[in-house]
Chains A and B, each alone.
Chain A
Amino acid sequence: NAGVTQTPKFRVLKTGQSMTLLCAQDMNHEYMYWYRQDPGMGLRLIHYSVGEGTTAKGEVPDGYNVSRLKKQNFLLGLESAAPSQTSVYFCASSYTLLDLSQNYEQYFGPGTRLTVT
């Protein structure tokens, strides 16, 4: 299993440009999450999804949109990038219906490093 994968790994955008970050998981997890990590900070939740076709806002949702059209994929979109969105973005997933013993544990992807100039 590849676990959680993210594409791209790096990206540089100009202010006002748009882009989509892709997260994919092959663990048949129900829940997926997008976090951002800034220097000296822990991870902060942007949006999350508790199942295919459902999404919800997290702690810092402004300027981002998400979609979960397929269970294994969770997309994070920036419609009009701003320098304040320069960060490292992590996707995570958790909770398999058939394995309740691990339903609290989130597994993270390797991250996408985004710079907005």
Chain B
Amino acid sequence: GQQLNQSPQSMFIQEGEDVSMNCTSSSIFNTWLWYKQDPGEGPVLLIALYKAGELTSNGRLTAQFGITRKDSFLNISASIPSDVGIYFCAGQLHSGYALNFGKGTSLLVTP
């Protein structure tokens, strides 16, 4: 499968700071998904994007589907300690197809 390039690999920030991470691919996707994984748990869906240029928010999280359909970014505003975890981007070409995952961004937030 197509491996996505996700950056940064890790982030260490203070509570209250904003966070930005992105994902790029050499192939186009029709859907971009962002997941969060807590230690010992499965990935949990945060935001789904279905249209190029789409900007979608979920609370303090905002994600955008790149116009070229080859990239996406996720922003977290005013981070809090419970934002700690690994964030994965995933691209999908068609409904039902497998997801192509990035390697994840590990986020640590200090109080």
Interface string of B20-32 (1 = CB under 8 A from A): 0000000000110
By the criterion CB–CB under 8 Å, are B33 and A110 in contact? no
Cβ–Cβ < 8 Å partners of B103 in chain A: 40-42
Q: For the side of the interface on A, what is the size category? A: 20 to 34
Interface string of B85-111 (1 = CB under 8 A from A): 000101010011011011110000000
Cβ–Cβ < 8 Å partners of A109 in chain B: 42
Say yes or no for A74: interface residue by CB 8 A criterion.
Answer: no
By the criterion CB–CB under 8 Å, are B96 and A95 in contact? yes
Interface size on B, residues (CB 8 A): 27
Q: Give Cα A42–Cα B1 distance, bound, in whole angstroms.
A: 11
A-B pairs under 8 A by CB, number: 63
Cβ–Cβ < 8 Å partners of A59 in chain B: 1, 98
By the criterion CB–CB under 8 Å, are A104 and B41 in contact? no
Q: Could you tell me the distance in whole angstroms from the C-beta of A34 to the nearest C-beta in chain B?
A: 10
Say yes or no for A105: interface residue by CB 8 A criterion.
Answer: yes
Say yes or no for B44: interface residue by CB 8 A criterion.
Answer: yes
Contact of B101 (CB < 8 Å), options: A4, A40, A43: A43
Say yes or no for B8: interface residue by CB 8 A criterion.
Answer: no
By the criterion CB–CB under 8 Å, are B98 and A58 in contact? yes
Q: Could you tell me the distance in whole angstroms from the C-beta of A82 to the nearest C-beta in chain B?
A: 22
Contact of A105 (CB < 8 Å), options: B1, B48, B88: B48
Cβ–Cβ < 8 Å partners of A31 in chain B: 96
A-B contact list, 13 entries, CB within 8 Å: A4-B42, A42-B6, A45-B98, A45-B99, A48-B98, A59-B98, A90-B43, A95-B95, A103-B96, A104-B95, A106-B33, A107-B45, A111-B40
Interface residues of A (CB under 8 A from B): 4, 30-31, 33, 40-45, 48, 50, 58-59, 90, 94-95, 102-111
Task: Other than A59-B98, A107-B45, give 7 A-B pairs with Cβ distance below 8 A.
Answer: A40-B103, A90-B42, A95-B96, A102-B48, A103-B95, A104-B50, A111-B40
